[in-house]
């Protein structure tokens, strides 16, 4: 079926003022000013009320953390004390059933905000949660979203010099064996893939050096992406210097992670030489502005990193340090915090759109998504400007960021509508809210 998405109010693409034609899940034609599709279409969608952008790509999240949003034991703390408060609660209470609810809720939130592709850094594997990746694959498939299943890990406890607790950790050999299982089952490198896999030891302060090295080798063998937290706080930098006698960037170089197959979360505390080194190797950086502000971690050097050659993407980060799963909100956060670091002219709405689409896609090693162009997958987000917040807005694309859009009216993934009239197709949102809220109460009772 050929679908003409016709005459959008505005579109984040050149030469497509009259819209795009979609066929077999791909964009097959851009329709320019005064033009019409070059061949007959089967259906037309009138987009005259809609601002149209590529589907957003979320490159860092911890979906299980939706169950501990604004948790009384963790509010008003920086990263290390925040983790110290929450690790015992997570380890004792995250079960397959509530991980499924947390994943479903997070994916639905992201979808409703305009996200079409997501990566969740699922590093928590307490006893009984061995099938976490399978649960997430099932939930993404049911919603019709693209997902990079990011098989995380923890294996360095407080007793061993790290900051994880025994109930949250797995043995390194168990981790590596399951990484191979997940890769063999889900890693699809073909164009338009709905599921792919990345390997993701949590951070230098809670996994062993051996696990980092072996994971890099496994990623090379399966040609998959690598992901970890890096240089999120000054405490982490101090830990690496004390524990490994090097900086976090030196550490990932020693362990085989200084590669264009890797993208790291946060990437705040890099010096000029490290920024250049990361850029030369094409490492990706997922900027998480909301979490960085909530935990007072610092401000990512987005402009310098991008200029050096690093890939810069956006992520919402965990919904206990954000506390939201809304990537459109993250664009506004990235714009504001970027202007605070640089100036009003140096970070524009086009920059944050690029980071949330093309940049994030590059972090995930995908060239089939992230822009509105012929041959790309038809992953698209549509926003109306009907709310009071947009009244008086002169530039529709800028208005999405500056006026604070947070919900898409329509979302398309692989040419199929996944959100219509602001609601996710096939999801009982009221029931999901009730069931997830009931599960979250157990995490409050764990105080």
Q: Is the pLDDT of residue 447 over 60?
A: no
- The model's confidence at residue 446, banded by pLDDT at 50, 70 and 90, is low
Q: Is the pLDDT of residue 81 over 90?
A: yes
pLDDT 10s digits, 423-442? 999 999 999 999 999 999 98
Do 109 and 198 reside in the same domain of the chain?
A: yes
What's the rounded mean pLDDT across residues 17-29? Answer: 98
Q: Domains in the chain: how many in total?
A: 2
Query: Does 78 map to a domain?
Result: yes
CA distance 195 to 117: 10
Q: Is the pLDDT of residue 405 over 70?
A: yes
Tokens of 198: 């990345």
The CATH number of the domain where 404 resides is what? 2.30.40.10
Q: Is the pLDDT of residue 347 over 60?
A: yes
pLDDT 10s digits, 148-180? 999 999 999 999 999 999 999 999 999 999 999
Coil, helix or strand for 242? helix
Confidence (pLDDT) at 319: 85
- The model's confidence at residue 100, banded by pLDDT at 50, 70 and 90, is very high
- The model's confidence at residue 445, banded by pLDDT at 50, 70 and 90, is confident
What's the rounded mean pLDDT across residues 18-29? Answer: 98
Bridge partner list, 404: none
Do 204 and 230 reside in the same domain of the chain?
A: yes
Query: Does 369 map to a domain?
Result: no
Sign of torsion over alpha carbons 386, 392, 396, 397: negative
Nearest to 316 by CA among 293, 282, 341: 293
% the chain with pLDDT above 90: 98
Do 334 and 417 reside in the same domain of the chain?
A: no
Average pLDDT, the chain: 97
User: In terms of residue numbers, what domain contains 41?
Assistant: 2-54+375-424
Please give the C-alpha separations between residue 417 and each of 25, 27, 40, 335, 373, in angstroms, as whole numbers: 11, 14, 21, 29, 19
Given 363, 389, 412, which residue is the final one in a domain? 363
Do 26 and 144 reside in the same domain of the chain?
A: no
Query: Contact, 100 vs 122, CB < 8 A?
Result: no
The CATH number of the domain where 104 resides is what? 3.20.20.140
Query: Does 79 map to a domain?
Result: yes
pTM: 0.98
């Amino acid at each position: 079926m050929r679908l003409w998405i016709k005459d959008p109010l505005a579109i984040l693409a050149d030469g497509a003022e009259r819209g795009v034609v979609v066929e077999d899940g791909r964009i097959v034609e851009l329709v320019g000013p005064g033009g019409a599709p070059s061949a007959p279409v089967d259906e037309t969608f009138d987009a005259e009320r809609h601002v149209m952008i590529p589907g957003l790509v979320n490159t860092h999240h911890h979906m299980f953390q939706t169950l501990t949003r604004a948790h009384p034991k963790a509010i008003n703390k920086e990263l290390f004390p925040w983790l110290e408060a929450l690790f015992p609660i997570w380890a004792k209470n995250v079960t397959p059933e509530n991980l499924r609810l947390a994943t479903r809720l997070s994916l639905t939130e992201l979808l409703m905000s305009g996200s079409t592709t997501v990566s969740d850094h699922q590093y928590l594997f307490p006893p009984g949660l061995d099938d976490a990746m399978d649960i997430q694959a099932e939930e993404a498939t049911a919603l019709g979203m693209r997902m990079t299943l990011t098989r995380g890990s923890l294996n360095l406890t407080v007793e061993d010099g790290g900051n994880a607790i025994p109930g949250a950790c797995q043995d390194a050999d168990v981790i590596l064996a399951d990484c191979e299982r997940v890769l063999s089952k889900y890693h699809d490198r073909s164009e338009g893939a709905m599921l792919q896999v990345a390997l993701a030891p949590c951070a230098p302060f809670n996994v062993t050096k051996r696990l980092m090295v072996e994971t890099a080798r496994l990623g090379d063998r399966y040609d998959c992406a690598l992901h970890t937290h890096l240089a999120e706080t000054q405490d982490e930098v101090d830990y690496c210097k004390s524990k490994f006698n090097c900086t976090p960037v030196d550490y990932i170089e020693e362990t085989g992670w200084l590669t264009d197959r890797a993208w790291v979360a946060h990437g705040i505390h890099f010096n000029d030489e490290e920024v250049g080194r990361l850029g030369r190797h094409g490492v990706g950086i997922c900027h998480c502005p909301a979490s960085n502000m909530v935990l007072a971690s610092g401000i990512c050097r987005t402009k310098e990193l991008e200029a050096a050659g690093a890939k810069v993407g956006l992520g919402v980060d965990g919904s206990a340090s954000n506390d939201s799963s809304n990537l459109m909100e993250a664009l506004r956060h990235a714009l504001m915090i970027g202007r605070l670091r640089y100036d009003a002219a140096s970070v524009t709405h086009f920059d944050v759109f690029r980071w949330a689409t093309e940049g994030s896609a590059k972090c995930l090693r995908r060239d089939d998504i992230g822009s509105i162009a012929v041959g790309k997958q038809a992953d698209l987000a549509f926003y109306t400007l009907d709310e009071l917040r947009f009244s008086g807005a002169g530039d529709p694309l800028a208005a999405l960021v500056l006026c604070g859009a947070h919900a898409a009216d329509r979302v398309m993934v692989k040419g199929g509508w996944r959100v219509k009239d602001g609601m996710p197709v096939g999801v009982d949102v009221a029931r999901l809210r009730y069931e997830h809220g009931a599960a979250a109460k157990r995490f409050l009772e764990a105080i």
